[in-house]
């Protein structure tokens, strides 16, 4: 996902998306462990998406606190 797309979403929507991505990441890691994952780049992409969303949420939280 692009950072611009993520900044346009609401905070609640981003929180839900992080939860879903973490579940997907866990599932992908388990599939990779048992050699059933076809595309291992999914794990790296999910980790980066989670980091992007958490950065946006942190920025919003710090801006709200000031």
Say what the pLDDT of residue 1 is: 79
pLDDT in tens, the chain (66 residues): 788 999 999 999 999 999 999 999 999 999 999 999 999 999 999 999 999 999 999 999 999 887
For the chain, what are the domain ranges? Answer: 3-65
pTM: 0.91
Phi-psi region of 39 (alpha: psi -120 to 50; beta: other; left: phi over 0): beta
CATH architecture of 3-65: Orthogonal Bundle (1.10)
Are 24 and 46 in contact by the 8 Å Cβ rule? The answer is yes
């Amino acid at each position: 996902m692009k950072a611009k797309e993520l900044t346009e979403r609401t905070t609640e929507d981003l929180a839900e998306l992080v939860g879903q991505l973490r579940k997907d990441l866990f599932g992908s890691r388990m599939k990779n462990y048992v050699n059933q994952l076809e595309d291992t780049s999914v794990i790296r992409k999910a980790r980066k998406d989670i980091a992007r969303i958490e950065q946006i949420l942190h920025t919003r939280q710090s801006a709200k606190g000031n």
